[in-house]
Amino acid sequence: MKFSKLSQLFLVSSIGLLVATVLTACQIVTIDFVYLATTSGSGSNGSIQTFAVDADSGALRTVGSTVSSGGAEPVAVAVSSDYANLYVANAGSKSVEHFTINMNGVPTATDSITLASTPVALAVDSTSTYLYVLGGTGSPTLTSYSLTKGKIGAEASHADLNLGGNYVNDVLVPTGITVLANNSTVSGNAVYVSAYDQTSYNPGGTATCTSDCAHPGWVFGYSIGTGGALTPSHNSPYQAGTRPSSIVSDPADRFVYVTDFASNQLIGYTIYNLGTLNTLSYMPSGPFSTGSEPSSVVVDPRGRFLYVSNALDSTVSSYVIDVTSGIPTVAVNTTGSSVNSTDTYPVAVAADPALGRYVYTANHLGNSLSGFRLDTTSGALTSTQATPYPSAQEPTALVIIPHGNHALTTVVK
């Protein structure tokens, strides 16, 4: 059969259109980039791995090359509010490394600071004006550094963590930090850190407290003033179980949640003006049960659901947050369970900020990340495609940024 030139042109055009349609239909759309800190890397330094999140399946794939964390033993990561800057705390070298992030999600080391004490946790405020570094053991400190277009500047303020009175010399171990997102009617911004009193709680060692050993866990609250000045909140510090391991606030600045590693519990607080937390008791009906050794906690970007990684159980617990009281209620998945299996020993958990659809854990002994799809109606989780995803050895922390114009900005007010 012979074709005219016009028929041939039409055929070629039709085939080209069909191929383009198929390729478009099969195209992988990246909605987030995940940055994973691991202890293995080049020489004595740790590493940062970058993963892309597929919009349809939540599956992860590596992006670019693994980069050095800029120091030994990275333990914490944080990003600026514009998602253009990544910060990594390296415990082994007492430093914080700053990376800029390009449009393709690639981090590039830009500058760094050396610290006087070992860093434990990091946070950036909602305007990307200050970087908060929690560090030290025994007499820990919270220090804020000014940020200029992401670059780490001079120290702006610092606060020494101690219990005062007869306990001023107790050995405190800091564990976590959260900064209010400043999205609500709370008067003034605030930052909270969790810590436990090793003088009162010291498994495998000796508790050396001489009087009150009943409350080894604490949350310290600080209001943030002009120039970043840190002022202790009213009645701070607040009791926080036995060994608080992580802390988070909801995106509307109404509630604070703390995981208690030793007691297998989740503790909730209500935030009042100037960052004061409820002091007479924990959130009603609390504390709330978790799995064994809860290691990390995250609230989804809508402020509706809460997820806790349980290190010893190798699970994630799911909760629905009551928008009025803040009380978390267990969310049951399709199998009738409130827990979801991860790879071995999850030490960190994060929710995707682009669509609020996926949750991931960093599995320290599994050398992997586990992924889950979040049901935006019930809060229940189901495993993502091909999870878990292999990583470098001994991951310790992760953070997620939205890619391109994907950004979930709706929070419950």
- What's the rounded Cα separation, in Å, for the pair 236 and 225? 16
Q: What is the CATH number of the domain that holds 140?
A: 2.130.10.10
pLDDT > 80? residue 27: no
Q: What's the domain range around 169?
A: 29-402
Q: Is residue 345 part of a domain?
A: yes
Q: What is the pLDDT of residues 202-229, one digit of tens each?
A: 877 777 765 556 679 999 999 998 899 9
Q: Is residue 183 part of a domain?
A: yes
Q: Is residue 13 part of a domain?
A: no
Contact 98, 153 (CB under 8 A): no
Q: Give strand pairing partners of 77.
A: 88
Contact 157, 229 (CB under 8 A): yes
What global pTM score does this model have? 0.90
- What's the rounded Cα separation, in Å, for the pair 388 and 392? 13
Contact 315, 307 (CB under 8 A): no
Q: Which of the four pLDDT bands, split at 50, 70 and 90, describes residue 22?
A: very low
SS3 assignment for 249-305: ECCCCCEEEEEECCCCEEEEEEECHHHCECCCCCCCCCCEECCCCEEEEEECCCCCE
Least reliable range by pLDDT among 31-40, 341-350, 364-373, 397-406: 397-406
Q: Is residue 4 part of a domain?
A: no
Q: Is residue 8 part of a domain?
A: no
pLDDT, residue 384, reads: 97
- What's the rounded Cα separation, in Å, for the pair 240 and 247? 10
- Beta strand segments in 128-274, E: 130-135, 141-148, 151-160, 172-179, 189-197, 217-224, 230-232, 238-239, 244-249, 255-260, 265-270
Q: What is the pLDDT of residues 88-129, one digit of tens each?
A: 999 999 999 999 999 999 999 999 999 999 999 999 999 999
Least reliable range by pLDDT among 18-27, 149-158, 244-253, 321-330: 18-27
pLDDT, residue 34, reads: 98
Q: Is residue 410 part of a domain?
A: no
Q: What is the pLDDT of residues 311-324, one digit of tens each?
A: 999 999 999 999 99
Contact 130, 159 (CB under 8 A): no
Contact 218, 197 (CB under 8 A): yes
How many other β-carbons are positioned within 10 Å of the β-carbon of residue 12?
10
Contact 366, 413 (CB under 8 A): no
Least reliable range by pLDDT among 131-140, 164-173, 178-187, 205-214: 205-214
Q: Which of the four pLDDT bands, split at 50, 70 and 90, describes residue 15?
A: very low
- What's the rounded Cα separation, in Å, for the pair 275 and 258? 16
- What's the rounded Cα separation, in Å, for the pair 98 and 148? 12
Contact 89, 76 (CB under 8 A): yes
Q: Which two tokens stand for residue 197?
A: 């009193």
Q: Is residue 24 part of a domain?
A: no
pLDDT > 50? residue 9: no
Into how many domains does the chain fold? 1
Q: Is residue 225 part of a domain?
A: yes
How many other β-carbons are positioned within 10 Å of the β-carbon of residue 19?
10
